[in-house]
Amino acid sequence: MRDTSVVLSGLRLDNPVIPASGTFGYGADFREFYDINCLGSFSFKGTTKEPRFGNPTPRIAECESGLINAVGLQNPGIDAVIGEELPRLKEFFHKPVIANISGFSIDEYRYCCERIDREEQVGIIEVNVSCPNVRHGGMSFGTSPEAAAEVTRAVKEVTTKPVYIKLSPNVTDIVAIAKACEEAGADGLCLINTLLGMRIDTVRRRAVIANKMGGFSGDAVFPVAVRMVYQVSKACSVPVIGCGGVSSARDVIEMMMTGATAVEVGTANLRNPYACKEIVETLPVEMERLGIEKLSDIIGIVE
């Protein structure tokens, strides 16, 4: 019997497979396809203080090896998540969930994280620092070590549960930002978020999506994600959740070998709603093929 279990900041997961925020909603849609309790956990849709309709359409541009999205953090707001989504989730998902929190100011991050920290079903708080920092001309909180550390400290002051900071790859030195978050008290890190991309409609001679640019994700970003997970896991001592272009059990194992303790699956869910279920089912097969008895033994084995 192959052991697929891993431990994230004291939270034991049956397996390391976690659907990424923004690709799995709040779980209700995917329960129509399969019993989502087969997952290690899942990261629910990025949640802000106030409800957000999101960006104008079109929001998606398909690419040969991925897609570009500019959804714009569409979500019902923290009150609705706590009052409606989490009680509904509790009816069909019986494991701790990862709460993805976004914000446009330090105060908003603090407020939302403090609120969600009180919820029993939340096991880990995942803080997305790729949001525009309105105090600094719209630059992302995650583009500088100082700003990322400021968010981390603010959130840690008002929470008791493990806080993982989700990092943007659209930076010169992701290790410096990761180390700043760790020093500010982050319990773990998640990387990478989407790369910035753009597509042009050559017939209409304009950008495909209304926002012009958006987050590029999918198979094409996997080598970039592996490289960054490797760099950060070697430089930091806190656990890392790997994310970016994962679409198979082999990808999960490769990312874990570079240092990830668990792995998030994003774009693959949009192409195939059974993607995570299939990865969970094929993990033991891939482990047997590679002679791996215990999945946690391979974390960070690549020198």
* Catalytic residue from among 112, 113, 131, 276: 131
**168, 142 in Cβ contact below 8 A?**
yes
Q: Side-chain half-sphere of 273: how many Cα atoms within 13 Å? A: 11
Does the annotation mark 243 as catalytic? no
- 3-state SS of the chain is CCECCEEECCEEECCCEEECCCCCCCCCCHHHCCCHHHCCCCECCCECCCCECCCCCCCEEEECCEEEECCCCCECCHHHHHHHHHHHHHHHCCCCEEEEECCCCHHHHHHHHHHHHCCCCEEEEEEECCCEEHHHCCEEHHHCHHHHHHHHHHHHCCCCCCEEEECCCCCCCHHHHHHHHHHCCCCEEEECCCEEEECEECCCCEECCCCCEEEEECHHHHHHHHHHHHHHHHHCCCCEEEECCCCCHHHHHHHHHCCCCEEEECHHHHHCCCHHHHHHHHHHHHHHHHCCCEHHHHCCCCC
Known catalytic residues?
A: 131
